[in-house]
């Protein structure tokens, strides 16, 4: 049973309290003491390792006081990282590139997951696609009198970039559809359930909820079909953290959490319920589905990251295309 405080999970309540207590403080190793580690994370499936590490007590194995700060979106984490408030951030590969592109001393030390996204679309689009191919969006507009409405995370986020990449690869001009920025997976789900959008680029638990509940929106393409090795959330570490013993200790617990997710679906589903807010039975289905390939080795997402870097530079999210050497530090994972 979920321990709740006024309808909010106890973990979420405590995370919020921790965030309030540490708001405005500098990142620990970078801001005044090598016995603290401030870690940004988001209540999303691709950051599930954080919630496992927290729930299972793995963070006690790290020789630092680890403080989690929960955020709802990548841009807010970028701002906090730029202000020197964070040591580690578990968030999207594109926002991580933005941090690096701004000259902040940090690199990606681990992946969290690969190929976790799906393009969701109204069931009527499938038949239109079979008949018209990529002109289906024009057929939709002619039939409905309005453009097809996608809703996903803010521009520059991983779901947003994957959506725009897929449209481009299919030869669809972005002007043929409407793309609305929505903050958070729960808000995306509500927009689907309320009929406010016709599709999305989104990670679990939204695709599983859409499949199990009475909505006309369904999985249209998986990330594996669009971009094998597609990156999503990663673990970004400041240079000062990566040069310390704490970095390897943290990644060792990250690996333990990845293995826990793979090997104990039942226990992981309960952690998803209390930490991310998805019912355990739906979480179980999501964990057993095609969008839950959790990893730690950063090399698992190297090829997809090259594509994302090219796309992000072409679209102005970063000033220049970043090489994998600029983005990744494999040494922390290899030497842990």
Instruction: Give the tens place of pLDDT for each residue, 284-315.
Output: 999 999 999 999 999 999 999 999 999 899 88
Query: 98 and 133, same structural domain?
Result: no
Residue 7: is its pLDDT beyond 50? no
Looking at the structure, tell me whether residues 204 and 64 fall in a common domain: no
| 300 and 159 in a common domain | no
What is the predicted pLDDT for the residue at 156?
78
Residues 6+ apart with CB under 8 A from 316: none
pLDDT-derived band at 28 (thresholds 50, 70, 90) equals: low
Q: Residue 12 is part of which domain span?
A: 4-114+230-335
Q: Are residues 222 and 121 in the same domain?
A: yes
Q: Which residues of 170-193 are buried (b: 16+ CB within 10 A; e: fewer)?
A: eebeeebbbbeebeebbebbebbe
Same domain, 72 and 122: no
Report the greatest alpha carbon distance in the chain.
62
Q: Is the pLDDT of residue 126 over 50?
A: yes
Classified as helix, coil or strand, 67 is strand
27, pLDDT greater than 90: no
CATH number at residue 265: 3.40.190.10
**Is the pLDDT assigned to residue 34 strictly greater than 80?**
no
Domain boundary among 226, 241, 265: 226
Domain count, the chain: 2
How confident is residue 68, by pLDDT bands cut at 50, 70 and 90?
A: very high
Distance CA 140, CA 153 (A): 23
Give the pLDDT band of residue 185 (cuts 50, 70, 90): confident
Q: What is the mean pLDDT of residues 197-225?
A: 95
pLDDT of residue 75: 87
Length of the chain: 336
Structure confidence by residue, pLDDT tens digits, 235-285: 999 999 999 999 999 999 999 999 999 999 999 999 999 999 889 999 999
pLDDT of residue 277: 87
Quick: pLDDT tens for 214-223: 999 999 999 9
Query: Do both 298 and 222 map to the same domain?
Result: no
DSSP symbols for 204-220: TTHHHHHHHTT-SEEEE
261 shares a domain with 179: no
269 and 205 in a common domain:
no
**Is residue 102 located within the same domain as residue 238?**
yes
pLDDT value of position 29: 56
Give tens-digit pLDDT for 71-92: 988 889 999 999 999 999 999 9
Strands 199-203 and 117-122: antiparallel
Residue 155 has a pLDDT of 83
Which of residues 226, 258, 278 is at a domain's end?
226
- The pLDDT-based confidence of 158 (bands split at 50, 70, 90) is confident
Distance between CA atoms of residues 201 and 214, nearest Å? 19
Residue 108 has pLDDT above 60, yes or no: yes
Average of per-residue pLDDT across 10-18 = 36
Same domain, 268 and 317: yes
pLDDT greater than 50 at residue 32: no
Q: Which of 9-13, 29-33, 161-165, 184-188 has the highest mean pLDDT?
A: 161-165
Confidence band (pLDDT; 50, 70, 90) for 121?
very high
- Residue predicted with more confidence, 191 or 29: 191
First to last CA, the chain: 36
Reported pTM: 0.84
Q: Is 132 found in the same domain as 90?
A: no
Q: Note whether 8 and 110 are same-domain residues.
A: yes
Read off the tokens for 31: 């801001």
pLDDT of residue 166: 96
Residue finishing a domain among 195, 226, 257: 226
Residue bearing the bigger pLDDT, 30 or 334:
334
Nearest-angstrom CA–CA distance, 67 and 158: 25
Mean pLDDT taken over the chain: 89
What is the arithmetic mean of pLDDT over 21-47?
Answer: 68
pLDDT tens digits along 191-200: 999 999 999 9
């Amino acid at each position: 049973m979920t321990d709740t405080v006024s309808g909010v999970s106890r973990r979420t309540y405590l995370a919020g309290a921790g965030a309030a207590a540490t708001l405005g403080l500098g990142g620990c190793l970078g801001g005044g003491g090598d016995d603290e580690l401030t870690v940004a994370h988001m209540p999303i499936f691709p950051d599930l390792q954080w919630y496992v590490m927290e729930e299972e007590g793995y963070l006690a194995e790290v020789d630092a006081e680890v403080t989690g700060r929960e955020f709802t979106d990548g841009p807010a984490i970028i701002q906090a990282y730029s202000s020197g408030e964070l040591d580690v951030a578990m968030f999207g590969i594109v926002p991580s590139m933005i941090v690096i592109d701004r000259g902040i001393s940090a690199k990606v030390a681990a992946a969290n997951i690969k190929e976790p996204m799906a393009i969701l679309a109204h069931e009527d689009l499938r038949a239109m696609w079979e008949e018209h191919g990529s002109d289906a969006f024009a057929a939709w507009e002619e039939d409905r009198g309005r453009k097809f409405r996608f809703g996903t995370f803010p521009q520059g986020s991983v779901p947003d970039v994957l959506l725009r990449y897929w449209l481009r690869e299919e030869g669809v001009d972005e002007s043929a559809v409407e793309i609305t920025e929505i903050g958070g997976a729960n808000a995306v789900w509500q927009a689907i359930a309320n009929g406010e959008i016709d599709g999305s680029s989104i990670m679990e638990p939204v695709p599983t909820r859409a499949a199990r509940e009475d909505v006309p929106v369904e999985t249209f393409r998986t990330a594996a079909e669009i971009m094998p090795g597609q990156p999503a959330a990663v673990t970004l570490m400041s240079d000062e953290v990566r040069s310390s013993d704490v970095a390897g200790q943290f990644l060792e617990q990250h690996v333990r959490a990845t293995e826990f997710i793979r090997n104990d679906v039942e226990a992981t589903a309960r952690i998803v319920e209390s930490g991310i807010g998805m019912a355990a039975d739906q979480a179980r289905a999501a964990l057993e589905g095609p969008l839950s390939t959790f990893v730690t080795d950063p090399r698992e997402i190297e090829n997809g990251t090259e594509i994302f870097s090219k796309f992000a530079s072409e679209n102005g999210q970063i000033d220049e295309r970043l090489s994998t050497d600029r983005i990744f530090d494999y040494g922390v994972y290899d030497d842990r």
